[in-house]
């Protein structure tokens, strides 16, 4: 009888110890997950805070040149630049915006560049209605467009055309930027200023995100977010 009581007590003690250990493990898992989330957020904030200095330099030069020629266009360009930086500074701490909001900022960016390039820059922006209200990371499309201007249009003497398209392809989200500039090199991500974008996609989506590019008459670069419409 005594043996049975001892065994029962040991069983209860074992269960208590096991429960305590599992509780500590679960708590540690939560702490690790929180630390990873904070680390990812800090890295994202750092990525968002990086403004291309070449774009800023060119935009300010254009504003200075316009100031003596066209006061209205100068004011419009300065306000557009201000709104773009307010969007980039991200004071409210938000990581995500709607596709429509990101495209509106892309339009402001292209309007600033159009002030620089004039009739040499023609652009069009299209988005499926099913995608416009979806949330995406801030500055997911704009770097693709900036890349098209910097390494496409700026290298051309003739008219440059940029087309931005956001599509739903079954359950995937496709973000595509077409331009008629020179071909991409073998690896445009690192050398073409798209490393920040690559890092953001890796942090948030892992292997569910990809960046691909096509040269030739249908030249474009595309970001694909797999299974995006399933969530």
Q: Within this chain, do residues 122 and 173 fall inside the same structural domain, yes or no?
A: yes
Q: Is there a single domain that holds both residue 44 and residue 74?
A: no
Q: pTM score > 0.75 for this model?
A: no
pLDDT higher for 45 or 206? 206
* pLDDT greater than 80 at residue 33: no
Is the same domain home to 25 and 95?
A: no
**Would strands 160-169 and 121-127 be described as parallel, antiparallel, or unpaired?**
parallel
Find the largest Cα–Cα distance for the chain: 103
Is residue 36 located within the same domain as residue 106?
A: no
The per-residue pLDDT for 167 is: 96
pLDDT value of residue 31: 47
Alpha-carbon distance 85 to 74, whole Å?
A: 17
Torsion angles phi and psi, residue 7, rounded to 5: -65, -40
Domain that holds residue 26: 1-48
- Shared domain for 114 and 205, answered yes or no, is yes
Residue 1 confidence (pLDDT)? 59
Give alpha helix (H) positions in 49-137: 53-66, 71-89, 99-117, 129-132
Kindly state the average pLDDT of the residues 15-37: 56
Are residues 6 and 62 located together in one domain of the fold?
no
Do 121 and 198 share a structural domain? Answer: yes
The answer to whether residues 104 and 212 belong to one domain is yes
Pair 30, 106 in one domain: no
Same domain, 126 and 226: yes
Query: pLDDT by residue (tens digit) across 148-179?
Result: 988 888 778 889 999 999 999 999 999 999 99
The structural domain count of the chain equals 2
Residues 108 and 159 in one domain: yes
In terms of domains, do 82 and 137 share one? yes
């Amino acid at each position: 009888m005594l043996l049975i009581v001892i065994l029962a007590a040991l069983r209860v003690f074992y269960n208590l110890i096991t429960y305590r250990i599992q509780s500590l493990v679960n708590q540690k898992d939560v702490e690790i997950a929180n630390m990873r989330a904070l680390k990812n957020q800090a890295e994202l904030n750092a990525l968002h805070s990086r403004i291309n200095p070449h774009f800023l330099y060119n935009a300010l030069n254009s504003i200075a040149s316009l100031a003596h020629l066209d006061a209205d266009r100068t004011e419009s360009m300065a306000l557009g630049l201000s709104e773009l930086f307010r969007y980039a500074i991200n004071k409210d701490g938000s990581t995500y915006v709607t596709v429509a909001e990101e495209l509106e900022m892309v339009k402001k960016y292209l309007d600033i560049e159009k002030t620089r390039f004039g009739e040499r820059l023609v652009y069009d922006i299209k988005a499926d209605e099913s995608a416009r209200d979806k949330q995406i990371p801030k500055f997911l499309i704009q770097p693709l467009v900036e890349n098209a201007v910097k390494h496409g249009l700026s290298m051309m003497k003739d008219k440059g055309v940029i087309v931005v398209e956001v599509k739903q392809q079954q359950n995937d989200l496709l973000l595509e930027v077409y331009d008629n500039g020179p071909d991409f090199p073998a690896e445009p991500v690192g050398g073409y200023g798209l490393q920040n974008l690559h890092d953001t996609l890796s942090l948030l989506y892992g292997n569910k995100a990809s960046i691909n590019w096509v040269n030739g008459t249908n030249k474009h670069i595309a970001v694909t977010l797999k299974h995006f419409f399933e969530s």
